[in-house]
Amino acid sequence: MNVMAKAEKKISSAFIYFFGSFGGILFGYDIGVMTGALPFLQADWHLENAASLVGWITSAVMFGAIFGGALAGQLSDKFGRRKMILMSAIVFVVFSVLSGVSPDMGEASAYYLIIVRMLLGLAVGAASALVPAYMSEMAPAKARGRLSGLNQTMIVSGMLLSYVVDFLLKDLPGEWAWRLMLGLAAVPALILFLGVLRLPESPRFLLRKGDEAQARKVLSYIRKNPAEIDQELASIKETAKEERQANQKTSWSSLFSGKYRYLVIAGVGVAAFQQFQGANAIFYYIPLIVQKATGQAASSNLMWPIVQGVILVVGSLVYMWIADKFNRRTLLMVGGAVMGLSFILPAVINWMMPNMNPMTIVVFLCIYVAFYSFTWAPLTWVLVGEIFPLAIRGRASGLASSFNWIGSWLVGLIFPIMTASMPQEAVFAIFGIICILGVIFVKTCVPETRGHTLEEIEEQGTNHGRVKASNPEN
Say whether 251-474 and 12-199 share the same fold. yes
Q: How far apart are CA 127 and CA 14, in angstroms?
A: 20
Per-residue pLDDT tens digits of the chain, which is 474 residues long: 343 344 345 577 778 888 888 888 888 898 889 888 988 998 899 888 888 899 999 999 999 988 887 788 778 878 888 898 899 999 999 999 999 999 887 778 899 999 999 999 999 888 877 877 787 777 776 666 666 667 788 889 999 999 999 999 988 887 899 999 999 999 999 999 999 998 888 888 888 788 888 888 888 887 777 777 888 788 777 777 766 666 656 666 677 777 788 888 998 999 999 999 999 899 888 888 888 877 777 666 788 899 999 999 999 899 888 877 888 899 999 999 999 999 999 999 988 888 878 788 889 999 999 999 999 998 887 887 778 776 677 678 778 888 888 999 999 999 999 988 888 889 999 999 999 999 999 999 998 877 766 667 767 666 665 555 445 444
For residue 8, the model assigns a pLDDT of: 45
For residue 6, the model assigns a pLDDT of: 43
For residue 93, the model assigns a pLDDT of: 95
Q: 12-199 in CATH: which number?
A: 1.20.1250.20
Say which amino acid occupies 362: V
Half-sphere exposure of 136 (CA within 13 A, CB side): 12
List the domain boundaries for the chain: 12-199, 251-474
For residue 464, the model assigns a pLDDT of: 65
**324, 450 contact by CB (below 8 A):** yes
For residue 209, the model assigns a pLDDT of: 81
Q: How far apart are CA 64 and CA 56, in angstroms?
A: 11
Q: How far apart are CA 72 and CA 84, in angstroms?
A: 7
Task: Look at the alpha carbons of 170, 175, 178, 180 in this order and tell me if their dihedral is positive or negative.
Answer: negative
CATH class of 251-474: mainly alpha
Q: How far apart are CA 212 and CA 228, in angstroms?
A: 15
For residue 245, the model assigns a pLDDT of: 67
Q: How far apart are CA 441 and CA 332, in angstroms?
A: 10
Q: How far apart are CA 126 and CA 434, in angstroms?
A: 28
Residue 428 falls in which region: left (phi positive, over 0), alpha (psi -120 to 50) or beta: alpha
Q: What is the largest CA-CA distance in the chain?
A: 76
**410, 288 contact by CB (below 8 A):** no
Long-range contacts formed by 174-181: CB under 8 A, 24+ apart = 174/40, 174/43, 174/44, 174/299, 175/40, 175/44, 175/104, 177/37, 177/40, 178/37, 178/38, 178/40, 178/41, 178/44, 179/100, 179/101, 179/102, 180/100, 181/33, 181/36, 181/37, 181/40
Q: How far apart are CA 205 and CA 240, in angstroms?
A: 10
For residue 474, the model assigns a pLDDT of: 42
Q: How far apart are CA 137 and CA 234, in angstroms?
A: 14
For residue 247, the model assigns a pLDDT of: 62
Strand segments, DSSP code E, in 81-146 are none
Q: How far apart are CA 264 and CA 322, in angstroms?
A: 26
